[in-house]
Amino acid sequence: MNILVTNDDGIHTVGLATLARVASKYGRIVCIAPDRERSACGHAMTLRDPLRVKRVPMEGGFEAYQVNGLPVDCVNLALTEFFPDGCDLVLSGINNGPNLGWDITYSGTVGGALEGAINGIRSIAISVASYVEDAPLHYESAEVWLIEHFDWLVSAPMEEHTILNVNVPSIASIEIRGTKITTMGMRVYEDRVEKRSDPWGREYYWQGGVVVVDSSQIGTDVWAVNEGFVSVTPVRLDWTSHSQLEHLDKSLATRTSRVR
């Protein structure tokens, strides 16, 4: 099995090394990731700057490259340069923090997996979900879960152009209550943009805000992780609201008839 490992936190991270260690048990791996943290870049792609690739040493002796670009760039470069005979699996992560609910639209980790799906490759994003800043991240719990579920991840039925988004609670492995197949929950932010002044009195803005987590919706990824379960959410590239098509079509037809 040919496996591409990427992330959005950068090539020299514990999460990437952990994921590479697990994946290496199942086939040939190539690690290719940004040369620095690129969190919240979503599914962005570099179009107006040259991309440069450099081989770097990596713990475990894995074949690893850094790119002065984004996760999507890394996936496309890897498929072009390092997998001439094809790639069987794209693994993106292990992300430093949660990728839950609507937050996944910002996630470079998920963006990398989506690029794999666009290329017709089974792709999985995985994150360690910690809600407390500076709290220890239990990558070892994600590693144990991955080893136990790897065969299922690569064989479970999936629709075309769909990824699996996995979030492992950042708790000791023995405390994890199990695994849930989930829908996307809600994660929104209060006071998203904060206005500040620098020492010279010039105004600037800092974007971030306080996350508001709605864990009351049973069956969502937010709920599952909050309850101590690993969340696995199928996410598809087709964002079309299919349930709205008929209603919009009728609405447009009614307006058109009135205009006439």
Mean pLDDT of the region 215-239 = 93
Tens of pLDDT, residue by residue over 23-47, are: 999 999 999 999 999 998 999 999 9
**DSSP letter for each residue of 72-108:** HHHHHHHHHHT-TT--SEEEEEEEES---GGGGGT-H
Q: What total number of domains does the chain contain?
A: 1
> Any residues with CB less than 8 A from the CB of 142 and at least 6 apart, and which?
15, 18, 94, 126, 128, 168
Longest pairwise C-alpha distance within the chain: 71
> Any residues with CB less than 8 A from the CB of 228 and at least 6 apart, and which?
169, 171, 175, 176, 177
Evaluate whether 15 touches 95 at the Cβ level (below 8 Å).
yes
For residue 83, the Cα-to-chain-centroid distance in whole angstroms is 22
CA distance linking residue 183 with residue 203, whole number of Å:
40
Q: Quick one: what percent of the chain has pLDDT higher than 70?
A: 92
* Predicted pLDDT of residue 146: 98
Tens of pLDDT, residue by residue over 5-15, are: 999 999 999 99
- Phi/psi of residue 3, nearest 5 degrees: -125, 130
Mean pLDDT of the region 62-84 = 96
Mean pLDDT of the region 59-63 = 92
Decide if 196 is inside a domain.
no
Q: How many CB atoms lie within 10 A of CB 44?
A: 15
| Runs of H (alpha helix) within 123-169 | 139-153
DSSP-based three-state secondary structure for 132: coil
Domain CATH for 253: 3.40.1210.10
Q: Show the beta-strand stretches assigned E in the chain.
A: 2-6, 28-34, 53-55, 64-67, 89-96, 122-129, 162-169, 179-181, 186-190, 193-197, 203-207, 210-214, 230-236
Tens of pLDDT, residue by residue over 208-218, are: 766 666 667 89
In angstroms, the Cα distances linking 237 to 121, 166, 184, 221 are 13, 16, 14, 18
Tens of pLDDT, residue by residue over 189-214, are: 666 788 889 899 899 888 776 666 66
Q: Which structural domain range is residue 248 located in?
A: 2-186+217-259
Mean pLDDT of the region 153-163 = 95
User: Quick check: 133 pLDDT over 90?
Assistant: no
Decide if 241 is inside a domain.
yes
Q: How confident is the model at residue 158 (pLDDT cuts 50, 70, 90)?
A: very high
Decide if 207 is inside a domain.
no
Decide if 193 is inside a domain.
no
Decide if 212 is inside a domain.
no
- Our separate counts of H helices and E strands in the chain read 6, 13
* Predicted pLDDT of residue 163: 98
* Predicted pLDDT of residue 215: 67
Q: How confident is the model at residue 4 (pLDDT cuts 50, 70, 90)?
A: very high
In angstroms, the Cα distances linking 166 to 93, 159, 172, 193 are 10, 17, 17, 29
Decide if 206 is inside a domain.
no
Q: How confident is the model at residue 54 (pLDDT cuts 50, 70, 90)?
A: very high
Determine the straight-line distance between the first and last CA of the chain, rounded to whole angstroms.
Answer: 61
| Least confident interval from 129-143, 220-234, 238-252 | 129-143
User: Quick check: 231 pLDDT over 90?
Assistant: yes
Decide if 78 is inside a domain.
yes
Tens of pLDDT, residue by residue over 75-117, are: 999 999 999 899 999 999 999 999 999 889 999 999 999 999 9
Decide if 211 is inside a domain.
no
Task: Please give the DSSP secondary-structure letter assigned to residue 260.
Answer: -
Extract the tokens encoding 121: 């490759």
